[in-house]
Structure 1
Amino acid sequence: MHFVLSRATEADLDELINVEYRAFASLEVASAFLGPNTPLGHEKNKERLLKDMREDQADLWFKLVDEDTGKIVSGANWKIYPTWTARPPSPELSVDYYGEGSLEKKSAEEVLKDFGGRRMKYTNGHPHVLLNILFTDLDYQGRGCGSIMVKWGCDIADQLLVPMWVEASAAGHRVYSANGFEVVEKVDTRTSKWRHMYTMMRRRAKTEKTID
């Protein structure tokens, strides 16, 4: 089996979103970030991703394609800050995929507010590479797809001599640790609807690079 790594474009978003929902199907709190797995949820998710693709200069999407089938099997969204920008890398707090006054909307806002504030606490004010999201289709998990994505980001960070950051789920912790990430904080937050558990991890910046 061979995989092809390449930049993802706007034309790939529908397929990426389908893979994303399948990948996170068993993680209930993912609904706070993605919205419900419904046509409206997919539509709102796509609107947000398109906005970042078009307006956020730090935004970069990559896809991994199974060469035999032509299908996207993994996606990764990076935020690359080679020098610091005044715009902090916090997630969009608009939760327009849930109805006003609903428990889901209230809980999603609480999750995103805590998540965004914690991210800013660690990443605000210095150059870095942020792995904003990484997902792999359930049928391809355990085949090294995540490692391919993470290693690409590590190479970029090492070229820029900047640290890397990621919020790791329990499933992703192993691949990040194997690529030099260290635990900074274990997070366990609760709302009326969801429990959000993850680990804030950092890969330290290289301070110099030897040129042969």
Structure 2
Amino acid sequence: MPLKLHELTTGDEFKLVVHVELEAYSEPFNGFWEMLKGSSEDELCARQLSWHRNDPSSHWLYVIDEDSGDVVGGMQWNIYNTNPYATEQSPLTAYWFPDGPTRRVGNQLLLGLTTHRPCSMSKPHLLISYCFVHSAHRNRGVASLMLKWGTRKADDLGLEAFVESTEIGRKAYEKHDTRAEDASDEFQASRRKFGCPMHV
């Protein structure tokens, strides 16, 4: 079953991507996603599409299984050609929830995710914001196609690429840790000694 990578251009495509996103992030359970997904598929789709359209750094990719025509995975890359933290930004809040405890917990989770960014990412870079693969299509190379798109862009631009992930997605990203693949045996042994890559 051949796979084909696409870059998102229309809102209709995005509906198909979000449908897969909901399925993919539901198994296994992902508490951070539970907070992000909001109240309904339509609300989530409208919110994420608005974020995408209002952010010139945003590039959404998706993969289609060409035999079935189904979307089987998606990824958002942000490409920052300049330092996105050169000016102070208002923190993202969980405004999609009514005021109350759920919104307050959502605000805390979002703040915990983004607080470090101005310290560690205050330069031009690429960032993976979302990566998901439908549960029926995992281990077929779907995520690899989307990761390679971004790492090639990073190489072409001479920029670092960052990923923020829950523990669930860690193994998928570690497979693409080229620093370990390309390094000498001595370098790899030193990385293992310190438990790299470290979970943060």
Distance 1:163 1:88 in 2: 20
Q: Label 1:111 to 1:63 Cα distance change in 2 as closer, same or farther (>3 A).
A: same
Return the TM-score normalized by structure 2.
0.80
SS in 1 for 2:83: coil
Cα displacement string for residues 147-170 of structure 1 (whole angstroms, at most 9, x for unaligned residues): 111111111101111101001233
Unaligned runs of 5+ in 1: 188-212
Distance 2:148 2:131 in 1: 12
What's 1:127 paired with? 124
What's 2:82 paired with? 83
Q: Write the mapping of 1:103-122 to structure 2, written as runs, cut at 5 A.
A: 103-122=101-120
The residue type paired with residue 154 of structure 1 is: T
Distance 1:11 1:167 in 2: 27
Percent sequence identity over aligned pairs: 25
| Count of paired positions | 181
Cα displacement string for residues 89-141 of structure 1 (whole angstroms, at most 9, x for unaligned residues): 9896232332221x322211110011111233321x20111011100101111
SS in 2 for 1:69: coil
The match for 1:27 among 8, 26, 30 is 30
Deviation at 1:30, TM superposition (A): 1.1
SS in 1 for 2:31: coil
SS in 2 for 1:29: helix
User: Superposition RMSD on alpha carbons, in Å?
Assistant: 2.4
Unaligned runs of 5+ in 2: 180-195
Distance 1:134 1:89 in 2: 27
More strand as a share of residues: 1
What's 1:2 paired with? 2
The residue type paired with residue 133 of structure 1 is: Y
The residue type paired with residue 4 of structure 2 is: V
Please tell me whether the aligned partners of residues 90 and 117 of structure 1 are also in contact (alpha carbons under 8 angstroms): no
SS in 1 for 2:98: coil
What's 1:71 paired with? 70
What's 1:16 paired with? 17
